[in-house]
Amino acid sequence: MSYPKIQFKSNIMEPVIGIVKNTLDDNDFTKMMEWLNTLLTISENVGLKDEEIGSLMQEVSSDCISSIYIATSGFYRQAVIQLRSILEVTCNAFYYLDHKIEYNLFMSHNAKSDRYVSKLVNDHHFYTTRYITAFFGKIQEIQTETDSVSKKLTTLYGDLSDIVHGRSASFTKLSQITIGYSKEKFKFFEVLLHRSLSLIVLLYALRFDDFITDGVLDLAKFTMAVRV
Amino acid sequence: MKAIAKSLGDFLVDRTESLENIKIEEYFVQYSKDKITRLLDTEQYIFEGSRGIGKTMLMKYASIQANKSFGQDSILSVWISFEESIRLERIKVVGDGVDPFLQWTMGKILHEVLKSIISLKPRSMDQLSGRLSKIFCYPATTNFEQYSKLLSEYLDLLEKGDIRDSLKLMEEAPSSELSKILDNPGSFKKFLLGLVNDFELNRIVLLFDEAAHVFSHIQQEKFFTFFKSLRDPKIACKAAVYPGITNYGKYFEKGQDAKELSIEWSPTIKGDIDYIKDILKKRILTFGEDAWRKLNENPEIINTICVCSNGNPRFAFHIIDELDSSGAFTWNRRINMQLVKNSVRKVLDSKWKEFTTLKNRLVKYSKYIDEAEKLVKEFLVKNLRDWNSKRIAIGKSPSAGFYVATSLYEKIPQVFEVLAYSNLIIIDYRKKSIGHGHYGYYMMLNPSILIADLILETNDFQKVSVAIENNQAYYLTTNHMADLVNMLKESNEYNCTNSSCNFKTDNEDFKFCPSCGNPIEIPQAEPLYKILRSHSVESLKLSDSIIRRLKEKFSTVGEIYDATIDDIRMPYIQDVRAVKVKTAAIEYMAG
């Protein structure tokens, strides 16, 4: 092996393997794997309803797996970047599900990929009460407040963006580069993962009126945007 | 149709084995967190405690807690009960045939370990594994469920005991590979360690319940030799035993090969009494607040029940059950002390009857059982009553027990041990100086005896002293004790198998005759399994109406033990009662 390869193996791969081992030894992965399984299930279900949007959801699934793996390896900020990306792609997927012309422009004519979550909510009323009413008439009975879902989306997106852009008070401020296992940061990631996947699952549950699929109800409840 | 109302008895189920996990968690009262930590740590332990004191409850609770945090800690905790071992005496060990006891013990352990691993698997795991396997184009992991099914069938085969001998057993085993793993403690341990590796477990904790008690003498020796061999940083074994009557064999040293952990209780310690109170409160409040309120109207009532329990919740349940049967909870007036004492006496009577029937099970101890009962009823109780009445009259501390000089104990340990096994006395095994160069053990009578026989009142227990100057002591020279020792002197004789040789000895260490060199005849005790099987159906703890009907079809305990639930079914004895009958037979054989 060449020196650079040996260097990469000894100085990057092996420490990361150590971090993964510490993370596995020190944490319970049961819940995370259950949430991941629910995400994979709903992605498959979306694919059955709409093949094109299903492929976007496959990307979401893949990004979620990598986010969990990255966090387990000690790269917490990068894992959160993935979470923000997952949220963006999912919101776009559900937006395009009902906006086929915009989707066509996006895919065929290389339209700008600027449908950030906040833009979707502010400019297109994405998952506001009146938006949801179009496909889920009972929303007013179960929402915890008007526009609860879109508000939760905006708040979460804001929190994730703060971390990504280095505005978070304690999460990513580094006086020097150290990459190592931190239970506190891993737990923090787990909380953000839970929030993100819960909202994603809620978008699906409302869009397709499916609270029965295994794991969906628990995650939907966790958002506290709806009473189910 | 109106649902049948539950009775108080439904909430005082006295065998933990009958409780579901959710009920165990609901009823469990934390008293010593340290014991739960030790039950799950890396050490080997002998876990001692008298019958009904809560060993099974503690073990099962520890196991439930460990499995709840399995996702975090990767400690696999497995509770294993050995109730069915007695059937194995039926299968003769022949030549190079596998030892059925070893096969069954290890098979049972492995089966429970696999069941545990499978039960801890999250519901969605197979589905997720399949998906991830496709995503990463990587094969999915092994499935242990098929293996568990195979073992389960093999264990059924061993437990039914319809195999003539161990050679036939080898033919019937589902695979020779399995027989080999299960025959040799070394290969069995290697297999367990393989499981630890495959699942990347922190360790496996094996909690052996009813260890030794239900085994024959020879099986006990084999079990503890096997127990010792399992020692490993990744395998921790704990065995629950009854003190005093366990045979560890020549190769196992308590204290050296396993640490000792015991459950102790004293009616003189307020915390211990409150512990029993908390247990009763949880159970009775589940039934209804009124019953609990009635028991607490007079604090002396509930305190008396707790003191009389002697640390044995099962005994307290029986007292309350007896109170319930006498209508105490349905009357409009308060429960009085006389009623409580009468209930204690009735339950104590049943306990003495149970003690006598121990002769059926602990055959080696049968003559000691007779003398032990007489010793307590005709000598110790009378002496203690006289002693206390004199001392209380002059304002001195009363006594709840007595000292037995070590020299006396060593002559007739079986008398005291069989009483301790039945929770009729509590022995403090720490040697104490009793003056004049002698040492002795302090033994306390069961508080229910002290209260029922008016030796002490409930409040007196706080004033009791264990100091030698405040207690009687019995020596080899004490008249009654000297007579007892002489009566119980072992008189076994071993003869030479050569009919022309007159050599006899009472020393069981002789294997060959020193005169002619022929083997010494060793009398073979009849296997316990055979003895218990031959007992009449009437020996079972069932109502008269059930016994009467059972006798139309079955004459012995063994016939019921071998029968399936369908075989037992008959008019009046359907699903619930048939299960009750079968359970009674299993419990009778297991003791």
Residues of B in contact with A33 (CB under 8 A): 122, 124-125, 128
Task: Give the gap in angstroms from C-alpha B232 to the nearest C-alpha of chain A.
Answer: 20
Tokens of B272: 């211990």
Residues of A in contact with B125 (CB under 8 A): 33
Q: Which amino acid, A39?
A: L
A58 near B CB under 8 A: no
Per-residue pLDDT of chain B (591 residues; tens, 9 = 90+): 444 455 665 555 556 776 788 888 888 888 877 899 999 999 999 998 877 888 899 999 999 999 999 988 999 999 998 876 666 666 666 666 667 788 888 888 988 888 888 888 877 777 878 887 787 777 766 556 666 777 777 777 777 666 667 777 767 776 777 777 777 888 899 989 988 888 888 999 999 987 776 677 778 888 898 999 999 999 999 999 887 667 788 788 888 888 988 888 889 888 999 999 999 998 888 777 888 888 898 999 999 999 999 998 888 988 998 888 888 888 777 888 999 999 999 999 988 988 888 777 666 778 888 899 999 999 999 999 999 999 888 988 899 999 999 999 988 988 998 898 888 999 988 889 998 888 999 999 999 999 999 899 998 898 898 899 999 999 999 989 999 988 887 655 677 887 778 787 767 677 788 888 888 876 655 555 666 777 888 888 788 888 888 888 888 888 888 888 888 898 888 888 888 888 888 777 766
DSSP B539: G
Residues of B in contact with A36 (CB under 8 A): 128
Cα gap B98→B78, rounded to integer Å: 25
Residue of B nearest to A21 (CA): B200
A215 near B CB under 8 A: yes
Look up the pTM and report it: 0.78
- The predicted complex's ipTM stands at 0.80
Task: Give the gap in angstroms from C-alpha A128 to the nearest C-alpha of chain B.
Answer: 33
Task: Give the gap in angstroms from C-alpha B468 to the nearest C-alpha of chain A.
Answer: 54
Q: Do A33 and B124 touch (CB under 8 A)?
A: yes
Cα gap B305→B298, rounded to integer Å: 12
Task: Give the gap in angstroms from C-alpha A132 to the nearest C-alpha of chain B.
Answer: 30
Cα gap B132→B155, rounded to integer Å: 36
Q: Do B124 and A37 touch (CB under 8 A)?
A: yes
**Contact (Cβ atoms closer than 8 angstroms) between residue B459 and residue B423:** no
For B192, residues 6+ apart whose C-beta sits below 8 A from its C-beta are: B110, B113, B204, B230, B235
Q: Do A36 and B128 touch (CB under 8 A)?
A: yes
pLDDT score recorded for residue A31: 94
B511-518: long-range contacts at Cβ-Cβ below 8 A with a sequence spacing of 24 or more? none
pLDDT over threshold 80, residue A211: yes
Residues of A in contact with B71 (CB under 8 A): 28-30
Return the minimum-mean-pLDDT range out of A78-82, A202-206, B361-365.
Answer: B361-365
Query: Could you please report the per-residue DSSP string of B436-497?
Result: TTEEEEEEEE-HHHHHHTTS--GGGGGG---SGGGSEEE-TTSHHHHHHHHHT-----EEBS
Residue of A nearest to B201 (CA): A25
Residue of B nearest to A43 (CA): B131
Cβ count within 10 A of residue A178: 8
**Contact (Cβ atoms closer than 8 angstroms) between residue B79 and residue B64:** no
What is the tens place of the pLDDT at every residue in B387-430?
A: 999 988 898 889 999 999 999 998 898 899 889 888 899 998 88
Of residues A28, A30, A37, nearest to B127 (C-beta): A37
Residue of B nearest to A214 (CA): B124
Query: Could you please report the per-residue DSSP string of B414-426?
Result: HHHHHHHHTTSEE
**Contact (Cβ atoms closer than 8 angstroms) between residue B212 and residue B224:** yes
Task: Give the gap in angstroms from C-alpha B131 to the nearest C-alpha of chain A.
Answer: 8
Residues of B in contact with A186 (CB under 8 A): none
